[in-house]
């Protein structure tokens, strides 16, 4: 389970998100990263032009149940919990330089 996501959920929300929901969100997040296959394309020396993509965009349309009975879509979860950038935190950055 992504400890960085757990820390983000614990530290950045008030009132705090209950522990069982944080654990489930972290599990969902890990599954989404695994199944969506996020990657970054572009030239290494032009980060403002990097393109953030997914092998499988359909993963973002999934829905999950949380321990409190709420049903959430991946997109709404990523929006509300500010996790979009975190999808790419373990991606390799482009290595080719533009010429």
Instruction: Give the tens place of pLDDT for each residue, 20-61.
Output: 999 999 999 999 999 999 999 999 999 999 999 999 999 999
pLDDT of residue 36: 97
**Would you place residue 3 in the very low, low, confident or very high pLDDT band (cuts 50, 70, 90)?**
confident
Can you name the residues that pair with 39 across neighbouring β-strands?
A: 53
- In the predicted structure, residue 2 carries a pLDDT above the cut 80: no
The Cα angle at residue 66 between residues 60 and 72, in degrees rounded to 5: 35
pLDDT of residue 1: 64
**Would you place residue 99 in the very low, low, confident or very high pLDDT band (cuts 50, 70, 90)?**
low
Domain spans of the chain, in order of start: 3-88
Q: Which residue has the tokens 């993963």?
A: 59
* Segment 74-91 mean pLDDT: 94
């Amino acid at each position: 389970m992504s400890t960085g996501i757990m820390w983000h959920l614990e530290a950045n929300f008030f009132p705090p998100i209950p522990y069982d929901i944080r654990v489930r969100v972290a599990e969902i997040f890990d599954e989404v990263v695994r199944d969506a296959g996020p990657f970054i394309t572009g030239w290494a020396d032009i980060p403002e032009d990097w393109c953030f993509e997914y092998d499988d965009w359909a993963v973002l349309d999934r829905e999950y149940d949380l321990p409190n009975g709420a049903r959430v879509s991946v997109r709404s979860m990523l929006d509300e919990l500010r996790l979009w950038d975190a999808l790419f935190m373990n991606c390799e950055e482009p290595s080719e330089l533009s010429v």
